[in-house]
Chain A
Amino acid sequence: DTEVTQTPKHLVMGMTNKKSLKCEQHMGHRAMYWYKQKAKKPPELMFVYSYEKLSINESVPSRFSPECPNSSLLNLHLHALQPEDSALYLCASSQGRISGNTIYFGEGSWLTVV
Chain B
Amino acid sequence: EDQVTQSPEALRLQEGESSSLNCSYTVSGLRGLFWYRQDPGKGPEFLFTLYSAGEEKEKERLKATLTKKESFLHITAPKPEDSATYLCAVQAMENFNKFYFGSGTKLNVKP
Q: Which residues of B contact A (CB under 8 A)?
A: 31-32, 34, 36, 41-46, 49, 51, 87, 89, 91, 95-99, 101-104
Residues of A within 8 A of B99 (CB): 45, 103
Residue in chain B with minimal CB distance to A44: B101
How big is the A interface, by class?
20 to 34
Are A101's CB and B96's CB within 8 A? Answer: yes
A1-18 contacts to B (CB < 8 Å): 2, 4, 6
A66 within 8 A of B: no
Are A43's CB and B101's CB within 8 A? Answer: yes
A86 within 8 A of B: no
Q: A2-B43, A43-B101, A105-B44 are in contact. Are A97 and B96 (CB under 8 A)?
A: yes
Are B96's CB and A108's CB within 8 A? Answer: no
Residues of B within 8 A of A106 (CB): 43
Cross-chain contact of A41 among B46, B95, B103 (Cβ < 8 A): B103
- Top 8 closest pairs, chain A to chain B, by CB: A105-B43, A42-B101, A108-B43, A107-B43, A48-B97, A105-B44, A98-B96, A101-B96
Give the CA-CA distance A90 to B44 in the complex, in Å.
9
A65 within 8 A of B: no
Cross-chain contact of A101 among B36, B97, B102 (Cβ < 8 A): B97
Residues of A within 8 A of B41 (CB): 88, 108, 110
A31 within 8 A of B: yes
Cross-chain contact of A102 among B46, B98, B101, B102 (Cβ < 8 A): B46
Give the CA-CA distance A2 to B51 in the complex, in Å.
23
